[in-house]
Structure 1
Amino acid sequence: MTVDCVVEDPRWGDINALAQIATDAALERLGLESSVFEISVLACDDARIAVLNEGFRGKPKPTNVLSWPSDERAAAIDGEMPLAPRPGPDNELGDIAIAFDTCTREAAEAGKTMQDHTIHLLVHGTLHLLGFDHERDRDATLMEGLETEILGKLGIPDPYRDETGQ
């Protein structure tokens, strides 16, 4: 996987390694050859992501992660697998933006490490680029299950369960 990271907020440090881990793990789980695909990641702050969120989603507030798939791949039927991308002349899966301030706050509130939370959000964003979503119930169940499985293989606890296992 070629991951092109643009770091606008230097507090992110070296997010390249985390982005590579997250994107490779997501594609590997779905049986896709990661070496033929490309993803761009913008590592920014809350002010920047709020502008993006308003411009693209009409929500004038910061969020943790945004994604823009290069193609529409979503499944027509709730809970079914999206269409897999095919390697070709343009292997760009899309773009992801991730906000440092929101990620830091969420990680602290959840008692997670920033590294684990960042990897989770990058896996989440990558799955969005691959056509997964959480707007419909069965789609959400499918996506969350994949995230949990991918993160588990990376040694990261289930992000959808609290510390009591609920």
Structure 2
Amino acid sequence: MPGPLPDGLVTDLAIEAGEWPGEAVLFQMAGRAISAAFAEAGLQVSENSEVSLLFTDDAGIRKLNAKWRDKDKATNVLSFPAGEPDGDIYGPLLGDIVFGYETVFREAEELGIEFGDHLSHLIVHGLLHLFDYDHQDNEEAELMESLEKAILASLGIDDPYVDSPLVADSG
């Protein structure tokens, strides 16, 4: 089980729209997922670093997806990295991760998995994007997926990629 957030990392969380669990539940879930990602992937941040998590609905994430990625459709997660690392050290602003409620909920149902497990996966996925992990080509995708699997396994969450293409379009 992962420990507390890395020293100096602050998580800013906002619920804009959607039927998300309460802030306390989301903070706990995000904290576990982020801590596991740092432990398993060896992520490093400068002191007083911050990551922002925005929980919205499909209409909200669709607007962002259209504006920033020229894709006029809702998606499960979007990541917006804030800056370039200093070597392997990221921060102080890591970036923003945005989640679309209806899409996340629908995918969890379609996959037959717990909503919290799916959201934890998407938190990890979005966070890895802030650290320059990507899935634009096969080699990058394999590396990112293997890290996600290890991180999620440390949380007791099954492999999300078994028979699932759902995360392939997220950003």
Residue 31 (structure 1) shift: 2.2
**1:61-76 matches, cutoff 5 A:** 61-72=73-84
Change (3 A) 1:85 1:3: farther
- Verify the 8 A CA contact 1:72 1:131 in the aligned structure 2: no
Check if 1:53 corresponds to 2:56. no
Take 1:151 and 1:85, find their aligned partners in 2: how far apart are those partners?
A: 23
Take 2:99 and 2:120, find their aligned partners in 1: how far apart are those partners?
A: 11
From 26, 48, 69, the equivalent of 2:37 is 26
Take 2:151 and 2:119, find their aligned partners in 1: how far apart are those partners?
A: 14
**1:85-100 matches, cutoff 5 A:** 85-86=88-89, 91-100=92-101
RMSD: 2.1
Deviations 1:6-45 (A, max 9, x none): 1012511231211111112112222235794321000000
Identity of aligned residues (%): 43
TM score, norm. by length of structure 1: 0.84
Q: Which runs of 4+ in 1 moved over 2 A?
A: 30-37
Change (3 A) 1:84 1:64: farther
Secondary structure at 1:12's aligned position in 2? coil
Change (3 A) 1:35 1:101: farther
Secondary structure at 2:89's aligned position in 1? coil
Can you give the 5+ residue segments of structure 2 that lack an aligned partner in the other structure? 1-8, 165-171
Secondary structure at 1:139's aligned position in 2? helix
Secondary structure at 1:101's aligned position in 2? helix
Single out whichever of 12-21 and 30-39 deviates more from structure 2: 30-39
Take 1:135 and 1:3, find their aligned partners in 2: how far apart are those partners?
A: 27
Take 1:117 and 1:85, find their aligned partners in 2: how far apart are those partners?
A: 28
Which residue identity is paired with 2:36? A
TM score, norm. by length of structure 2: 0.82
Q: How many residues are paired up?
A: 152
Which residue identity is paired with 2:29? L
Deviations 1:104-150 (A, max 9, x none): 00000000100000000000000000000000110000000000000
